[in-house]
Amino acid sequence: MRIVYVLTSLGMGGAERLVLAIANRMADRGHAVTLLVLRSKLKTEWPTALPVFYLDMRRNPFSVIFGLMRASCFLREFRPDLVHSHSFHPNCIARILKVLVPAPAVICTIHNVYTGGWHRVLAYRVTDFLSCRTTAVSTAVAEKFVRLKAIPQSKCVVITNGIDAAEFSPDAERRTQMRAAMEVTTEFIWMTAGRIVPAKDFPNLLSAFEIVRADFPDAQLWIAGEAMNEESNPVSRLAIAGHKGLMDRVRWLGLRRDLPALLDAADGFVLASAWEGMPLVVGEAMAMEKMVVATDVGGVRELVSDAGLLVPARDSQALAAAMLAVMRKSEEDRRGLGAAARARIEANFTMDARVDDWERLYHVVLERD
């Protein structure tokens, strides 16, 4: 097969990393794969050896039209069998390109339960006929968009995120080295990761951690992630402003490429999101045998099930209570529950199994197209 993956950017986010993992594995299986990226090349991107075509689109009509012209020329030259887009803007662009270049089949993937407003629902609804399938990363995402009539049930397929259990595998020596590098010894370390955006609800997390600190004053919270754009920076500033007394125990790590090592060094993983699709980092923490405390949003329950503790969104008291419950468990109990979390990932969410699912869907779509 000849496959084009369409993304907004190759920025350091979970969805981008997931798409690259799928694309790389498809290339390893002998398919001809290339990436079509809407934005310009960023200073910091996930590295890839795959060919990348940047459209340099900006938020104005002329840039979009010019980008569509360049993309249609690229598709005519590459002659893909399939175009697979991810998230709202790439999904819309892929569907418009179907009008300009009718040959390739189009599959669109939705990564989040957040719709972005009625205009996005309408855009999905009126352009649905241009895609062969619309997939969702969780049942929660699928049910939301079907209920809104953004996509028909008959064309909706759920393919959950995959986790690279080989990359995210615990290593005792690496844990020791990272904890030494971070200058921690016996302190309990809570880890979270994600872009500094409203969806992740860092104010909620800091409020919960403030309660935790009352019982465990030596505990630390590590936050790995950067602001997605300048408009997102007030999220972290607002969070800090309300909890200045915590800042000696909260470490804002910024953008990090060593997430497995950081997860090794941590003792637990916490997610305080207000909304999600199916967060990749939660599955990665589970693969690293970490006990997970997470808000019960989007597809988190489908991923975690009984291998972690789930609490309502925007409830700092409940989040803190779950974190404290984990900290009060014996180290042996935490190890056993962590091993169960990894076993759940290995049984249900491995990357190779998900790539098998994608490959089967591609063949079905091409046979019927």
Q: What is the mean pLDDT of residues 24-43?
A: 97
Q: Are 44 and 11 in contact (CB under 8 A)?
A: yes
> Identical fold at 2-162+350-368 and 172-348?
yes
Instruction: Please give the CATH number for the structural domain made up of 172-348.
Output: 3.40.50.2000
pLDDT at position 364 is 96
CA dist 97 to 20, 28, 362, Å?
A: 22, 27, 18
Cα 40 from Cα 334, distance rounded (Å): 44
Q: Are 67 and 57 in contact (CB under 8 A)?
A: yes
DSSP, collapsed to helix, strand or coil, labels residue 13 as coil
- φ/ψ of residue 293, rounded to 5: -115, 125
Dihedral sign for Cα 14, 19, 23, 26, please: positive
Tokens at 215, concatenated: 């019982």
Query: pLDDT of 323-346, one tens digit each?
Result: 999 999 999 999 999 999 999 999
Name the CA radius of gyration of the chain, rounded: 21
pLDDT at position 226 is 77
Q: Are 224 and 252 in contact (CB under 8 A)?
A: no
If one compares 341 and 246, the residue with the highest pLDDT of the two is 341
Sequence-distant (6+) residues with CB within 8 A of 115 are 121, 144, 145, 148, 150
pLDDT at position 347 is 96
DSSP, collapsed to helix, strand or coil, labels residue 123 as helix
Over 50: is that where the pLDDT of 232 sits? Answer: no
Cα 369 from Cα 89, distance rounded (Å): 24
Over 90: is that where the pLDDT of 275 sits? Answer: yes
Q: What is the mean pLDDT of residues 33-50?
A: 95
The residues spanned by each domain of the chain are: 2-162+350-368, 172-348
Query: pLDDT of 99-127, one tens digit each?
Result: 999 989 999 999 999 988 999 999 999 99
Give the DSSP H/E element, type plus range, for residue 287: helix 280-287
- SS3 string of 305-359? CCCCEEECCCCHHHHHHHHHHHHCCCHHHHHHHHHHHHHHHHHHCEHHHHHHHHH
High-pLDDT (> 90) share of the chain, %: 87
Query: pLDDT of 177-203, one tens digit each?
Result: 999 999 999 999 999 999 888 899 999
CATH superfamily placement of domain 2-162+350-368: Glycogen Phosphorylase B; (3.40.50.2000)
If one compares 213 and 234, the residue with the highest pLDDT of the two is 213
Over 80: is that where the pLDDT of 227 sits? Answer: no
High-pLDDT (> 70) share of the chain, %: 94
The pLDDT-based confidence of 18 (bands split at 50, 70, 90) is very high
